[in-house]
Chains A and B, each alone.
Chain A
Amino acid sequence: MIRCSLNEVETLLTKAARGCGADASQAARFGQGAVMCLCAGGATDTIHAALAALPGGVVVEYAAKIQSGMMQPVGSIVVFLGDDPLWSGYMSALPYRTEWRSMTECAVYLGTFEKTPKPVRLEIASGDLARWQALAARTFVPESEQSRLGGAGAGLTDND
């Protein structure tokens, strides 16, 4: 197991989601939701399955569901229904106060800003990290010589 920072994992999962074909905003939300899912003790298998379903799957529904629920006026309490761990992660990643009223009902207090407490570290198996890294690598581009010559530090004597 590797002790990771939460931002490391979120960044990696965001890239992995993009590598699986998710739109940029979906990928970002996926990264946030997936980390919160893992913080709450969710299994990495949940994350693997959601990544495999991209660019479709429940993640697309989540975005529309949140969009439509958030149309209520500030001060409202919106109740979202859902029972899978990734959805719970999505709810926890929202910047509002949330309250689980039952296993499937999450109340979101619009206008009451609150961050869900998070652990200091996540312990992730190196095999899981490697899988996500491989998906993320689908978005990487070999650097061209032209680009390399234009990068920071390029074209100078470094011992000046």
Chain B
Amino acid sequence: MKNFVAPDQVPLRPPSQVMRLSRMGSMFPTRLSFLRSLIRLLTEEQVKVTRPVWDMCKDGFGRAVYSMDLGGHTYSLVAISTDLPPEMRTDRVIAEAWDSAYVLYDGVPDLAELDRITANAPRQEAGRYTERDLVLSRANKSVRLFAHVTECLRSGQQPDTKMIRDVGYLMRTTAVYGNGKFGIADRSLIEDRPGLEGPFAAEMLTVWLIRNFTHDLAEHVGGAPLERDLKRHLGVGNSTGLGMAPFLVNHPVLLNNWMLVRETALARVRAIVRLDLTDQQRLLDLADRATLHLAQWSVPDPKHQSRIERLRLDWVEVVDMLAEKLKQANPLDEIIKNTGHHSQDVQELLVSLLIEPFGDLVDALAHCMGNPIGRIPSFVADTDGLRKILQSHFAWAIDTDFTAPQECHQFWYVSEAKQEPRLGERFTEDGADLESPLDIARRIGALYHALPAKSKSVAEFLIDAPEHGLAIERAQLAARYPYGEIQDNLIGAGCLPIDMLRCKLSFFGASKFDPKSDRWTRITLCQGAPLVDELNDEADDWWLPVFGS
């Protein structure tokens, strides 16, 4: 048995730097993002996707099944395409009908199971599911691109490359549900299965298979094949809103593990003493790819577009600097140190770039991104001990004056209609009395000021003041999970939920963030990812997809 020697690494960037909302809202996908890890695994396993059912009318309505073996299990994507009147098409969570619905099924469905899924999946939340249904999803067409692509194919032409580049997907999902929602399988049923043990692995597998279905559907309706390069650039769109934001607050161990792995990866590559010429060239090529990616990333929102434009300009400076620095000693550490004056957008793009060529150093870290055990707090005996923790880990929270209106301007709640997370304005909207407990900073502050002058046991304190239970729990988690807490006031006037969304989506592997407000965004997943018949040696090279020149 070989002895495992951990690679060298420089000190990690501290949580006080990394866990700020604005930096989290500047993150880019990395080779450790879940989709990238999944595709590498599918490639290693030489997964073959088959299509045992394709029961589709000429207009593309019907059902299909895709099956594949992974880690000793067979999984199938059941796709149902329906004729949706335009007036019913909406990406809102309040929608009740969609162009297509999907279930990732455990096994290969027989006819009875296929009929059951066909009856339920198009109804989404109103349907009922079983433990054989692992993931539930739905997607709407990008009507203009789907129509353009199919019309072109029908007339014997390939679609316009500019349009493919500008839109980037034939369909966009509006929900991808896992972990027991509406009766589907609990995550605990699959968390030990090879290939699905990583965070959101089943959901990412579903998205990759959905993308394949959208290609097949367009080719079926168009009656001709799409060129391979065009297909590869067609990912899956996604509309994501506040429903995703509380996850990062409610799962501090996962957040810690995701961030810690990413920071450890960066610390490892920063410890490289010398780069050989191949690695130098690879980094320069990837930096050029990033330049092209930025050039191809345009969004309608003027504020975000100006941020992208600033990033494009700053990136040119970074690329100029790279060529020289890469030849020097401790090159990647020096590069990080020399870009501290740049925007967080530049810094985080650089992090993503520097990690990319060094799979041998970092890829195994992806196995540490789950949470197979649960929360293990570092229990503290007395209130003096709690005070010390709060002072050392939560200084960012305890000095805030939460009686000031701007520090408690917003409140999170669960909507009555769809039971989805929402964000309200405390002083103009009703419902603050039913606030969801995402106000961690305020709770920490309240706990700090409630701690008694004379120390007592935490258990005694808890009996007298159970309302501080959540803050005590977070304090006791902080020592073990230093990257588990967003170090910002999530109810303050300055809190932008879009930053939380971008952080989480970048871990999924999303690119081309297209914020529509500070509360929701469109993104693209799987753009540039290998097609189902391209799981070969080149399959992992799709960081920051670009198209043409």
A160 touches B379 (CB 8 A): no
Complex interface residues of chain B between 426 and 440 (CB less than 8 A to chain A): 428-431, 434, 436-437
Does any Cβ of A come within 8 Å of B197's Cβ? no
Q: Of A3, A95, A137, which is within 8 A of B375 by CB?
A: A95
Does any Cβ of B come within 8 Å of A143's Cβ? yes
Measured between C-beta atoms, what is the minimum distance from A61 to chain B in Å?
A: 7
Q: How far is the CA of A160 from the CA of B425 in the complex (A)?
A: 31
Measured between C-beta atoms, what is the minimum distance from A133 to chain B in Å?
A: 10
Measured between C-beta atoms, what is the minimum distance from B314 to chain A in Å?
A: 30
What is the number of residues of chain A that contact chain B, defined by CB distance less than 8 Å?
48
Q: Of B142, B184, B379, B517, which is within 8 A of A67 by CB?
A: B379
Contacts of A64 in B (CB 8 A): 459-460, 462-463
Contacts of A1 in B (CB 8 A): none
Which of B69-77, B330-338, B347-355, B412-420 is the interface stretch?
B412-420
Q: Of B180, B182, B243, which is within 8 A of A152 by CB?
A: B243
- Smallest Cβ-Cβ distance to A138: which chain B residue: B434
Contacts of A147 in B (CB 8 A): 415, 422-424, 429
A23 touches B417 (CB 8 A): no
Q: A140-B416, A142-B416 are in contact. Are A152 and B519 (CB under 8 A)?
A: yes
Which of A4-12, A41-49, A79-87, A100-108 is the interface stretch?
A4-12
Does any Cβ of B come within 8 Å of A155's Cβ? yes
Q: How far is the CA of A26 from the CA of B417 in the complex (A)?
A: 26
- Smallest Cβ-Cβ distance to A55: which chain B residue: B466
Measured between C-beta atoms, what is the minimum distance from B450 to chain A in Å?
A: 13
Q: How far is the CA of A142 from the CA of B414 in the complex (A)?
A: 8
- Smallest Cβ-Cβ distance to A149: which chain B residue: B517
Residue of B185, B423, B459 most packed against chain A (CB within 10 A)? B459
Does any Cβ of A come within 8 Å of B144's Cβ? yes
A113 touches B140 (CB 8 A): no
Q: A150-B517, A158-B140 are in contact. Are A139 and B434 (CB under 8 A)?
A: yes
B462 touches A67 (CB 8 A): yes
Does any Cβ of B come within 8 Å of A65's Cβ? yes
Does any Cβ of A come within 8 Å of B51's Cβ? no
Complex interface residues of chain B between 343 and 397 (CB less than 8 A to chain A): 373-377, 379, 381
Which of B52-60, B234-242, B290-298, B527-535 is the interface stretch?
B234-242
- Encode A94-137 as 1/0 by CB contact (under 8 A) with B: 01000000000000000001010010110000000000000001
Q: How far is the CA of A77 from the CA of B150 in the complex (A)?
A: 66
Q: Of A120, A140, A160, which is within 8 A of B189 by CB?
A: A120
B422 touches A143 (CB 8 A): yes
Q: Of A7, A155, A159, which is within 8 A of B180 by CB?
A: A7
Q: How far is the CA of A61 from the CA of B464 in the complex (A)?
A: 10
Residue of A8, A55, A61, A146 most packed against chain B (CB within 10 A)? A8
Q: Of B89, B422, B469, which is within 8 A of A141 by CB?
A: B422
Q: A71-B381, A147-B423 are in contact. Are A152 and B240 (CB under 8 A)?
A: yes
Measured between C-beta atoms, what is the minimum distance from A132 to chain B in Å?
A: 13
Q: A67-B462, A70-B379 are in contact. Are A26 and B469 (CB under 8 A)?
A: yes
Contacts of A60 in B (CB 8 A): 462-463, 466
A23 touches B429 (CB 8 A): no
B374 touches A143 (CB 8 A): no
Complex interface residues of chain B between 168 and 213 (CB less than 8 A to chain A): 174, 179-189
Measured between C-beta atoms, what is the minimum distance from A73 to chain B in Å?
A: 10
A67 touches B373 (CB 8 A): no
Contacts of B466 in A (CB 8 A): 23, 26, 55, 60, 63
Q: How far is the CA of A151 from the CA of B130 in the complex (A)?
A: 30
B373 touches A95 (CB 8 A): yes
A-B CB contact pairs (8 Å), 22 listed: A8-B180, A8-B181, A25-B470, A25-B472, A61-B463, A64-B459, A64-B463, A71-B379, A113-B374, A113-B376, A115-B373, A120-B131, A140-B414, A140-B416, A141-B414, A142-B430, A143-B422, A144-B429, A151-B241, A152-B240, A153-B520, A155-B517
- Given contacts A64-B463, A151-B92, A159-B89, 9 further A-B pairs with CB under 8 A are A7-B179, A64-B460, A67-B379, A67-B458, A115-B188, A139-B434, A143-B416, A147-B429, A160-B143
